[in-house]
């Protein structure tokens, strides 16, 4: 199969495997999703989900969170790693949301990426999962699998995102990025597959 054929096959196969794509991070609104995604940097979703209940019991909106001492936030989120940086970002972005956006998470890439601790991937997740705007957030699973499945050169996350957006229909991006993540966790794992071992790789490269 050539690249387009592999992409088409994967789209069909992933829809079979994962017809439902629940958002892995527990949240109740765009703000709590934004904070959860920020915490997930270099941390598993499962661990974030064990930390956010205590954090959101303390403050689950930017108006309250901006008033919480950074040290208190840091202590709660410590298990997620990078707690000094993340705690400062959470409190500061909450302040900025109140001061510049009336306490509402903006539905705008540039505005999101201007917030502390919010890079392009985090903004893409929020735009896709909170607001339904087509985006293709590329995490480590997607970056790895795009290269393994020969859909992208894998030279950079930015290049992987651009390559995948060209290969797949825009209306499929939001669901597909989660389907690829699920496949990377369940089937085509970093250590469990060498590009030939898992079910998906065998199907792709045996055809």
The residue behind tokens 């993340």 is: 86
Q: Which residues have C-beta within 8 Å of that of residue 71, sequence separation ≥ 6?
A: 87
Q: Please give the share of the chain, as a percent, with pLDDT higher than 70.
A: 100
**pLDDT at position 207:** 55
The secondary structure of residue 170, as a DSSP letter, is G
Q: Does residue 144 sit in the same domain as residue 84?
A: no
Q: Does residue 35 sit in the same domain as residue 123?
A: yes
Query: What band does 114 get if pLDDT is binned at 50, 70 and 90?
Result: very high
pLDDT, tens digit, for every residue of 18-40? 999 999 999 999 999 999 999 99
Q: Does residue 108 sit in the same domain as residue 63?
A: yes
Q: Which CATH number do you get for residue 74?
A: 1.10.340.30
Residue 86 CA, chain-centre distance (Å), reads 16
Q: How far apart are CA 124 and CA 138, in angstroms?
A: 9
C-alpha R_g of the chain: 18
Which residues form the catalytic set? 121, 139
Q: Does residue 16 sit in the same domain as residue 36?
A: no
Give the residue from 129, 164, 195 where a domain finishes: 129
Q: How far apart are CA 207 and CA 202, in angstroms?
A: 8
- Enclosing domain of residue 36: 30-129
pLDDT, tens digit, for every residue of 123-140? 999 999 999 999 999 998
Residue among 50, 29, 28 nearest 39 (CA): 50
pTM of the model: 0.93
């Amino acid at each position: 199969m050539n690249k387009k054929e592999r992409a088409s096959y994967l789209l069909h196969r992933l829809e079979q495997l994962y017809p439902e794509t629940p958002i892995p991070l527990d949240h109740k609104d765009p703000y709590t999703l934004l904070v959860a995604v920020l915490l997930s940097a270099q941390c598993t979703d499962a661990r974030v989900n064990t930390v956010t209940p205590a954090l959101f019991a303390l403050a689950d909106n930017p108006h309250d969170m901006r008033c919480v001492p950074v040290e208190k936030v840091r202590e709660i989120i410590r298990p997620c790693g990078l707690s000094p940086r993340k705690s400062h970002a959470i409190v500061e972005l909450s302040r900025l949301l109140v001061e510049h956006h009336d306490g509402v998470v903006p539905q705008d890439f540039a505005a999101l990426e201007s917030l502390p601790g919010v890079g392009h991937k985090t903004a893409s997740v929020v735009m896709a999962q909170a607001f339904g705007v087509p985006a293709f957030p590329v995490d480590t699973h997607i970056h790895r699998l795009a290269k393994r499945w020969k859909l992208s050169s894998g030279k950079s996350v930015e290049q992987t995102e651009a390559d995948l957006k060209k290969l797949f229909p825009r209306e499929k991006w939001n669901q597909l990025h989660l389907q690829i993540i699920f496949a990377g966790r369940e089937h085509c794992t970093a250590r469990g597959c060498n590009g030939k071992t898992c079910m998906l790789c065998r199907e792709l490269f045996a055809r």
